[in-house]
Amino acid sequence: MFRNTLKKDQLRIPRHIAIIMDGNGRWAKKRLMPRSYGHQNGFNRMIGLLEHAFEMGVEYVTVYALSTENLKRPQEELEGLYNIVRKHFTEYMKKFGEKGVRVRAIGDITLLPQDVQDLIQKAEADTAHHTGKGLNIALCYGARAEIVRAVNQAVKEGKEVTEESFSRLLYTAEVPEPDLLIRTGKELRLSNFLLYQSAYTEFYFSDKMFPEFSNKDLERAIADFSTRTRRFGKTDEQLSN
């Protein structure tokens, strides 16, 4: 068990975890099922992981649900994803809202069908007053598009930016940078996720496909994170002073 492998006082709970939820399609294919079955199981697993993460004391979770580039996928697959939002999103976001979680979408959600946008905006508005915990859902999100959008905003305002003021122009303006980024699905890449924000994030890659990434796997990732030394450019000696 998690608590046996690492003593409680050695455990450092990341304040913000970002997750690239990859591998739904391959998970379904292996079971001779359509990709949409993988996405449905991925959604269910996401809910379980989010509940577990918040229970463990994580304050912010950012999940990569749909990239700008994913919009080039077959319409049928995209419709399947939108249908999951239509059927289940409101119910679960209400549950998170009751636990004090603020729901935010990051990305250009205007690229989604209007009714899906409405559901997302309602969840954001209903939870906007919460300050403790945050769930950021990256939808139609691409980090390059996010950065270019921020640059254009700065140009429009006609002001030079600093690192701080620039980060406030990103979708993640009010959210601290991720401490731990987990990618499931065996790939070792960022796929255009949080390029600016993850400058000093710790990475954890899992060979498991997202629908089979268990709560225990999350605990393993956090235990691994707890063993990392985050130097932020400094030396070990400087850190111990």
Residue 58 CA to its chain's centroid (Å): 12
41 catalytic? Reply is no
Going residue by residue from 113 to 152, which x/- string records binding to Mg ion, judged by CB under 5 A? ----------------------------------------
83 binds ligand IPE (CB under 6 A): no
Per partner kind, with CB cut-offs from 5 to 8 A, the member of ligand IPE, Mg ion, none near residue 64 is ligand IPE
Cα separation, 70 vs 89, whole angstroms: 19
Give the CB-nearest residue to ligand IPE: 25
Among 17, 19, 22, 127, binds Mg ion (CB under 5 A): 22
Residues 56 and 13: beta-carbon distance below 8 Å: yes
**Nearest of 227, 228, 214, 179 to residue 1 by alpha carbon:** 214
d(CA 190, CA 52): 24
Residues 50-79 that bind ligand IPE (CB under 6 A): 64-67, 70
Is there a catalytic annotation at residue 70? yes
Interface pick for ligand IPE out of 11, 17, 18, 21 (rule CB under 6 A) = 21
End-to-end Cα, the chain, rounded Å: 34
**Exposed / middle / buried, residue 205 (Cβ in 10 Å: 0-12, 13-18, 19+):** middle
Distance, C-alpha 119 to centroid of its chain: 19
For residues 78 and 154, which CB has a smaller minimum distance to ligand IPE in the complex?
Answer: 78
Find the binder of ligand IPE among 12, 26, 130, 208 (CB under 6 A): 26
Q: How many CA atoms lie within 13 A of 151 on its CB side?
A: 7
Minimum distance of ligand IPE from residue 86's CB (angstroms): 16
Q: Which of residues 187-216 bind ligand IPE (CB under 6 A)?
A: 187, 189, 191
Q: Applying CB under 6 A, which residues contact ligand IPE?
A: 20-26, 64-67, 70, 81, 185, 187, 189, 191
- Active-site residues: which are they? 22, 70
